[in-house]
Amino acid sequence: MAGIYLDHAATTSVLPEVVDAMKPYFVKEFYNPSSVYQPSQEVRKRIEAVREQIASFIGAQPEEIYFTSGGTEADNWALTALAGRKGRRGGHIITSTIEHHAIGHTCKRLQQSGYAVTYLPVDGRGRIHIEDLKRQIRRNTTLISIMFANNEIGTVQPVAEIGEIAHKLHIPFHTDAVQACGQIPIDVERQQIDLLSASAHKFRGPKGVGFLYVRKGLPLQNLLEGGGQERGLRAGTENVPGIIGMGKALELAAKTMETRRVKETRMRDYLITRITKEIPYTRVNGHQWFRLPNNVNVAFRFVNSESLLILLDMEQICASGGSACNSGSAAPSHVIEAIRVPKEYKNGVLRLTIGEENTMEEMNRVVTVLKAKVAELRKESPEYEDFLNQEQSKENGLEEKQE
């Protein structure tokens, strides 16, 4: 059997239709959209059509969409541009403890330059509590940035409730929707979102392209100096093939969202049920209901996830121990710490993220391999041996008492 890819939260393969849509813009339609001649103007029209399409997908206006080089850039831009709003140097940002590093590290940098940042805690399933948010709002709060859905545990935040509070108090609300966009419905009007980041490579588009939505009227500072692209706010010749590819990918994602949701949720729940039933000393991380359709995050006691990932790789199964950005680091991720995974489970985290090309047959194989590999690793674990000995002596003690 060919390899099984279960790391769609890290990235997805580009759909062939997307590649086909991009191809002409490398050679035949290579023109710079800022030039005055006709072929350039045709390219300009095409990228403006993508802007309209993205806007309509999230319920925004085309002039509220800015193309970026991906999610990281959109996140950095949103925070740095809005943190010091109204010239309030030393403003206050509210975010959460489980944001992607594109947000977390930017917040740390803003703190170093004088901003105050409040990191809202999350509960054991990874959700912030609205009451905590309300309590932390200050007179000088300039921005609330809470992710739509988490990249490690898949937990979806109460976005509409956050938007409602932010709007009542006239505080801009940014959400990192990199994992959510293309997977679950987004409506910036209904959910009262003021800024939103997304990235094409998470919904079967190309890497290195994304967008930032910014509600009209917000004082967005420019990110890059240079030409007048993106209304003078993000200079640089547009990544035309990337933008075209992102448009095509989003068009297809919109069409298939519901069927993918049903299919992936079924596979997700099947995996979770079988893994927790058939492999003892296993826990599920994240939320049972407010969870991305494709996210499975489990932790095995007496197992080191780095070793497990290597064994899975040898079986041609691609998975992740936490955020892709954290791979190579043995320490439990900030998300795993934030949801207070018990210490016996912290080092045995496994993230499996499903995609539309996965099959039920693959799910079955993954469970079979996991059962074998977890057992293999436990056999080599001195902690597991100690644990079994302790259990045995407890049992013997019980038997003696009963006699």
Residues that bind ligand PLP (CB under 6 A): 70-72, 75, 100, 102, 147, 151, 176, 178-179, 199, 210, 324
Q: How far is the CB of 403 from ligand PLP (least distance, A)?
A: 58
Q: How far is the CB of 167 from ligand PLP (least distance, A)?
A: 23
Q: Name the residue nearer to ligand PLP (CB basis): 207 or 371.
A: 207
Q: How far is the CB of 309 from ligand PLP (least distance, A)?
A: 17
Which residue of the set 107, 181, 318, 325 is catalytic? 325
Q: Name the residue nearer to ligand PLP (CB basis): 71 or 332.
A: 71
Q: How far is the CB of 203 from ligand PLP (least distance, A)?
A: 11
Q: Name the residue nearer to ligand PLP (CB basis): 150 or 282.
A: 150
CA distance 44 to 6: 37
Q: Name the residue nearer to ligand PLP (CB basis): 196 or 303.
A: 196
Give the CA distances from residue 222 to residues 77, 228, 230, in Å, rounded to whole numbers and listed in that order.
Answer: 8, 11, 9
Q: Is 281 exposed, middle or buried (0-12, 13-18, 19+ CB in 10 A)?
A: middle
Residue count of the chain, please give it.
403
Q: Name the residue nearer to ligand PLP (CB basis): 142 or 150.
A: 150
Q: How far is the CB of 195 from ligand PLP (least distance, A)?
A: 13
Q: How far is the CB of 68 from ligand PLP (least distance, A)?
A: 9
Q: Name the residue nearer to ligand PLP (CB basis): 96 or 282.
A: 96
- Asked whether the beta carbons of 345 and 301 are under 8 A apart, the reply is yes
CA distance 213 to 243: 15
**For this structure, is 325 an active site residue?**
yes
Using only C-alpha atoms, what is the Rg of the chain?
23
Provide the pairing of β-strand 295-300 with 141-145: unpaired
Q: What phi and psi, each to the nearest 5 degrees, are found at residue 175?
A: -130, 135
Percent of the chain that is helix, strand, coil (3-state, to 5): 45, 15, 40
| CA 138 to chain CA centroid, nearest Å | 28
Buried b (16+ CB within 10 A) or exposed e, 160-180: eebbebbeeeebbbbbbbbbb
CA distance 373 to 324: 21
Which residues are catalytic, by number? 325
